[in-house]
Amino acid sequence: MSAREEILARVRKAVAGAEDVEIPRHYRTNRQGEDLVGLFAERVDDYRAIVHVVPAAEVPGKLDACLGERRMIIPDGFDRAGGWDDVNTADGVVTGCAVAIAETGTIVLDHGPGQGTRAQTLVPDYHLCVVRADQIVAGVPEALARLDPARPLTWISGPSATSDIELNRVEGVHGPRTLEVIIST
């Protein structure tokens, strides 16, 4: 018997006669939060990321200020010209996002247009992310409902961190050590 057949047979034998269970889903879903922008900004800030809340018209100016003289990766589909090509020598990367979660201060990238590849958003030490207010949802269930499982997804909650040395939190091991978020309202 192949390993596959044998494991499946063992499983069937193990659970034969066991009762199935109903899944109670009485937790919160489909929430319409009040001030999602405010909550998201507060929760991102809790992770020691840098947060700006900016009216849409002022976003280009804010971007200029953040980018400065940095050698930035500007992914295909991000509304801005120019940029640096080589991930290994870039100072940073600027992206949009697919969805953002207020309750947990999380940004989710699906690496679609304007969001770069997985490597582009990982290797440079600085990540600047532009989040539109209408991309912010209340919680995890609302975020999953908007996401496409067929795409590679990267959930980001603050900068890279470790607590492996005597439980001291240190920002930045392998991922970007600085995360800056511009929320466009």
Partner 1 sequence: MSATFLGMPGSFPKNSRKAVQNSQLRFNLRKATHTIRGKRAGVVGELPDWQELRAAGKAIKDHTLRNLDRYLLQLEEAVTRAGGTVHWARDAAEANRIVTDLVKATGETEVVKVKSMATQEIELNQALAAHGITAYETDLAELIVQLGDDFPSHILVPAIHRNRSEIREIFLDKMPHVPPGLTDDPPALAEAARLHLRERFLRSKVAISGANFMVAETGTLVVLESEGNGRMCLSLPETLISVVGIEKLLPSWRDLEVFLQLLPRSSTGERMNPYTSMWTGAVEGQDFHLVLLDNGRTDVLADEVGRQALRCIRCSACLNVCPVYERAGGHAYGSVYPGPIGAILTPQLRGMSSELDASLPFASSLCGACYDVCPVAIDIPEVLVDLRAKAPHAAAEKAGMKVAGWILNDHERLAKAQRAATRARKLVPKRLPGPLSAWTDTRDLPEIPEESFRDWWERNERA
Which residues of this chain interact with partner 1, rule CB under 8 A? Answer: 2-4, 6-8, 10-15, 18-29, 43, 46-47, 88, 101, 103-106, 117-119, 122-123, 139-141, 144-145, 149-168, 170, 172-176
- Please tell me whether residue 171 adopts helix, strand or coil conformation: strand
Contact (Cβ atoms closer than 8 angstroms) between residue 114 and residue 79: yes
Contact (Cβ atoms closer than 8 angstroms) between residue 159 and residue 175: yes
What is the Cα–Cα distance from 127 to 97, expressed in whole angstroms? Answer: 12
- Residue 35 or 79: which CB sits closer to partner 1? 35
Contact (Cβ atoms closer than 8 angstroms) between residue 182 and residue 66: yes
Least Å distance, CB 85 to partner 1, is 16
- Residue 63 or 75: which CB sits closer to partner 1? 75
Least Å distance, CB 98 to partner 1, is 12
Neighbouring CB atoms inside 10 A of 62's CB total 16
- Residue 59 or 116: which CB sits closer to partner 1? 116
- Residue 84 or 155: which CB sits closer to partner 1? 155
- Residue 179 or 183: which CB sits closer to partner 1? 179
Least Å distance, CB 77 to partner 1, is 16
Least Å distance, CB 70 to partner 1, is 20
Contact (Cβ atoms closer than 8 angstroms) between residue 154 and residue 129: no
Backbone phi and psi for residue 51, each to the nearest 5 degrees, phi listed first = -125, 135
Contact (Cβ atoms closer than 8 angstroms) between residue 115 and residue 132: no
Least Å distance, CB 61 to partner 1, is 29
